[in-house]
Amino acid sequence: MERTAIIFLGPPGAGKGTQAARLSQELGFKKLSTGDILRDHVARMTPLGQVAKPIMERGDLVPDDLILALIKEELSDRVVFDGFPRTLAQAEALDRLLEETGTRLLGVVLVEVPEEELLRRLLRRAGLEGRSDDNEETIRRRLEVYRTQTAPLVEYYEKRGVLKRIDGTGTPEEVYARIKGALGV
Protein backbone atom coordinates (compact mmCIF):
# COMPACT_ATOMS: atom_id res chain seq x y z
CA MET A 1 0.00 0.00 0.00
CA GLU A 2 1.21 3.49 -0.83
CA ARG A 3 2.53 5.52 2.09
CA THR A 4 0.64 8.80 2.45
CA ALA A 5 0.53 11.85 4.71
CA ILE A 6 -1.69 14.88 5.33
CA ILE A 7 -0.52 18.02 7.16
CA PHE A 8 -2.72 20.37 9.19
CA LEU A 9 -1.44 23.92 9.39
CA GLY A 10 -2.94 26.93 11.12
CA PRO A 11 -2.74 29.20 14.15
CA PRO A 12 -3.50 28.08 17.70
CA GLY A 13 -7.24 27.96 18.23
CA ALA A 14 -8.08 27.32 14.57
CA GLY A 15 -9.48 23.89 15.37
CA LYS A 16 -6.75 21.83 13.68
CA GLY A 17 -6.64 19.25 16.44
CA THR A 18 -10.38 18.55 16.30
CA GLN A 19 -10.45 18.31 12.52
CA ALA A 20 -7.26 16.23 12.34
CA ALA A 21 -8.68 13.78 14.88
CA ARG A 22 -11.88 13.35 12.95
CA LEU A 23 -10.22 12.98 9.57
CA SER A 24 -7.56 10.55 10.80
CA GLN A 25 -10.24 8.41 12.40
CA GLU A 26 -12.41 8.34 9.30
CA LEU A 27 -9.50 7.55 6.95
CA GLY A 28 -7.82 5.12 9.33
CA PHE A 29 -4.67 7.25 9.49
CA LYS A 30 -2.53 7.72 12.58
CA LYS A 31 -2.88 11.21 14.04
CA LEU A 32 0.48 12.55 15.03
CA SER A 33 0.01 15.63 17.19
CA THR A 34 3.29 17.03 18.51
CA GLY A 35 1.43 19.15 21.10
CA ASP A 36 -0.39 16.07 22.49
CA ILE A 37 2.80 14.00 22.57
CA LEU A 38 4.69 16.81 24.32
CA ARG A 39 1.91 17.29 26.90
CA ASP A 40 2.08 13.55 27.61
CA HIS A 41 5.84 13.81 28.16
CA VAL A 42 5.31 16.78 30.48
CA ALA A 43 2.68 14.88 32.46
CA ARG A 44 5.06 11.91 32.85
CA MET A 45 8.03 14.22 33.56
CA THR A 46 10.26 12.38 31.08
CA PRO A 47 13.59 14.08 30.18
CA LEU A 48 11.91 15.57 27.10
CA GLY A 49 8.96 16.66 29.25
CA GLN A 50 11.26 18.45 31.66
CA VAL A 51 12.86 20.40 28.84
CA ALA A 52 9.57 21.12 27.09
CA LYS A 53 7.52 22.25 30.09
CA PRO A 54 8.88 25.79 30.63
CA ILE A 55 9.11 26.39 26.88
CA MET A 56 5.46 25.42 26.35
CA GLU A 57 4.35 27.48 29.33
CA ARG A 58 5.93 30.56 27.74
CA GLY A 59 4.29 29.78 24.40
CA ASP A 60 7.61 29.31 22.60
CA LEU A 61 8.62 26.44 20.34
CA VAL A 62 10.42 23.33 21.51
CA PRO A 63 13.78 22.98 19.63
CA ASP A 64 13.57 21.44 16.16
CA ASP A 65 15.99 18.56 16.87
CA LEU A 66 13.83 17.31 19.76
CA ILE A 67 10.67 17.55 17.66
CA LEU A 68 12.30 15.71 14.76
CA ALA A 69 13.43 12.87 16.99
CA LEU A 70 9.84 12.55 18.19
CA ILE A 71 8.47 12.52 14.67
CA LYS A 72 10.90 9.83 13.52
CA GLU A 73 9.89 7.67 16.46
CA GLU A 74 6.16 8.05 15.83
CA LEU A 75 6.04 8.05 12.02
CA SER A 76 3.61 5.66 10.41
CA ASP A 77 2.61 4.53 6.89
CA ARG A 78 -0.50 6.66 6.81
CA VAL A 79 -0.31 9.73 8.98
CA VAL A 80 -2.06 13.02 9.70
CA PHE A 81 0.33 15.61 11.14
CA ASP A 82 -1.27 18.08 13.57
CA GLY A 83 0.89 20.96 14.81
CA PHE A 84 3.92 19.84 12.81
CA PRO A 85 5.82 21.22 10.96
CA ARG A 86 5.92 24.62 12.67
CA THR A 87 9.20 26.04 11.36
CA LEU A 88 10.88 26.08 7.95
CA ALA A 89 13.62 23.80 9.30
CA GLN A 90 10.95 21.29 10.38
CA ALA A 91 9.25 21.50 6.98
CA GLU A 92 12.53 20.86 5.16
CA ALA A 93 13.37 17.95 7.43
CA LEU A 94 9.89 16.53 6.87
CA ASP A 95 10.34 16.80 3.10
CA ARG A 96 13.51 14.74 3.36
CA LEU A 97 11.81 12.19 5.60
CA LEU A 98 8.83 11.82 3.25
CA GLU A 99 11.20 11.42 0.33
CA GLU A 100 13.34 8.83 2.11
CA THR A 101 10.31 6.78 3.10
CA GLY A 102 8.56 7.14 -0.26
CA THR A 103 5.58 8.88 1.33
CA ARG A 104 3.23 10.96 -0.82
CA LEU A 105 1.84 14.20 0.62
CA LEU A 106 -1.91 14.24 -0.10
CA GLY A 107 -2.26 17.89 0.92
CA VAL A 108 -1.54 20.60 3.45
CA VAL A 109 -4.75 21.82 5.04
CA LEU A 110 -4.48 25.44 6.19
CA VAL A 111 -7.31 26.21 8.63
CA GLU A 112 -7.88 29.98 8.62
CA VAL A 113 -9.71 31.92 11.34
CA PRO A 114 -9.57 35.70 12.00
CA GLU A 115 -7.30 36.62 14.90
CA GLU A 116 -10.05 38.13 17.13
CA GLU A 117 -11.99 34.89 16.84
CA LEU A 118 -8.86 32.86 17.70
CA LEU A 119 -8.34 34.90 20.87
CA ARG A 120 -11.98 34.42 21.85
CA ARG A 121 -11.80 30.67 21.32
CA LEU A 122 -8.50 30.26 23.18
CA LEU A 123 -9.67 32.31 26.16
CA ARG A 124 -12.86 30.27 26.32
CA ARG A 125 -10.85 27.02 26.20
CA ALA A 126 -8.64 28.40 28.97
CA GLY A 127 -11.69 28.70 31.19
CA LEU A 128 -12.97 25.24 30.29
CA GLU A 129 -9.89 23.01 30.14
CA GLY A 130 -7.32 24.82 32.22
CA ARG A 131 -4.41 24.03 29.88
CA SER A 132 -1.38 25.68 31.47
CA ASP A 133 -0.47 27.51 28.23
CA ASP A 134 -3.97 28.93 27.78
CA ASN A 135 -3.60 32.20 29.70
CA GLU A 136 -3.86 35.52 27.92
CA GLU A 137 -0.16 36.36 27.94
CA THR A 138 0.91 32.95 26.61
CA ILE A 139 -1.89 32.96 24.06
CA ARG A 140 -0.65 36.27 22.65
CA ARG A 141 2.89 34.88 22.54
CA ARG A 142 1.71 31.71 20.72
CA LEU A 143 -0.11 33.81 18.13
CA GLU A 144 3.03 35.89 17.61
CA VAL A 145 5.20 32.77 17.31
CA TYR A 146 2.75 31.49 14.71
CA ARG A 147 2.98 34.72 12.71
CA THR A 148 6.77 34.89 12.76
CA GLN A 149 7.89 31.23 12.67
CA THR A 150 5.04 29.16 11.24
CA ALA A 151 3.18 31.45 8.81
CA PRO A 152 6.11 31.33 6.32
CA LEU A 153 5.17 27.68 5.71
CA VAL A 154 2.02 28.87 3.96
CA GLU A 155 4.08 30.23 1.09
CA TYR A 156 6.43 27.25 1.23
CA TYR A 157 3.58 24.80 0.57
CA GLU A 158 1.68 27.15 -1.72
CA LYS A 159 4.69 27.17 -4.07
CA ARG A 160 4.64 23.38 -4.14
CA GLY A 161 0.96 23.46 -5.13
CA VAL A 162 -0.18 21.32 -2.21
CA LEU A 163 -1.83 23.97 -0.01
CA LYS A 164 -5.60 23.76 0.62
CA ARG A 165 -6.95 26.94 2.23
CA ILE A 166 -9.94 26.19 4.43
CA ASP A 167 -12.28 28.70 6.07
CA GLY A 168 -12.17 27.62 9.71
CA THR A 169 -15.21 29.61 10.83
CA GLY A 170 -18.66 28.06 11.30
CA THR A 171 -19.53 24.78 12.97
CA PRO A 172 -16.98 21.93 13.21
CA GLU A 173 -19.19 19.95 10.79
CA GLU A 174 -19.10 22.74 8.21
CA VAL A 175 -15.33 23.02 8.47
CA TYR A 176 -14.94 19.25 8.21
CA ALA A 177 -17.03 19.13 5.03
CA ARG A 178 -14.85 21.85 3.48
CA ILE A 179 -11.70 19.90 4.33
CA LYS A 180 -12.97 16.66 2.83
CA GLY A 181 -14.05 18.50 -0.29
CA ALA A 182 -10.68 20.19 -0.68
CA LEU A 183 -8.73 16.95 -0.22
CA GLY A 184 -11.14 14.96 -2.37
CA VAL A 185 -11.44 12.18 0.21
Residue numbers in the known binding site for ATP are: 13-18, 125, 170
Residue 107 CB, shortest distance to ligand ADP, in Å, is 18
Residue list 28-47, contact with ligand ADP (CB under 6 A): 34-35, 38
Active-site residue among 16, 31, 164, 178? 16
DSSP the chain: --EEEEEEE--TTSSHHHHHHHHHHHHTPEEEEHHHHHHHHHHHT-HHHHHHHHHHHHT-PPPHHHHHHHHHHH--SEEEEES---SHHHHHHHHHHHHHTTEEEEEEEEEE--HHHHHHHHHHHHHHH--TT-SHHHHHHHHHHIIIIITHHHHHHHHTT-EEEEE--S-HHHHHHHHHHHHT-
Nearer to ligand ADP, 65 or 184 (CB): 65
Tell me whether residue 96 is one of the annotated catalytic residues. Answer: no
Binds ligand ADP (CB under 6 A): choice among 8, 12, 53, 108: 12
Number of residues that bind ligand ADP (CB under 6 A): 17
Residue list 85-144, contact with ligand ADP (CB under 6 A): 86, 90, 133, 142
Tell me whether residue 142 is one of the annotated catalytic residues. Answer: yes
Among the candidate windows 54-62, 92-100, 153-161, 165-173, which touches ligand ADP by CB under 6 A?
54-62
Tell me whether residue 16 is one of the annotated catalytic residues. Answer: yes
Nearer to ligand ADP, 111 or 163 (CB): 111
Q: Which distant-in-sequence residues (6+ apart) come within 8 Å of 177 by Cβ?
A: none
- The residues of the shown chain that bind ligand ADP, judged by CB under 6 A, are 12, 34-35, 38, 55-56, 59-62, 67, 83-84, 86, 90, 133, 142
Catalytic residues: 16, 86, 120, 131, 142
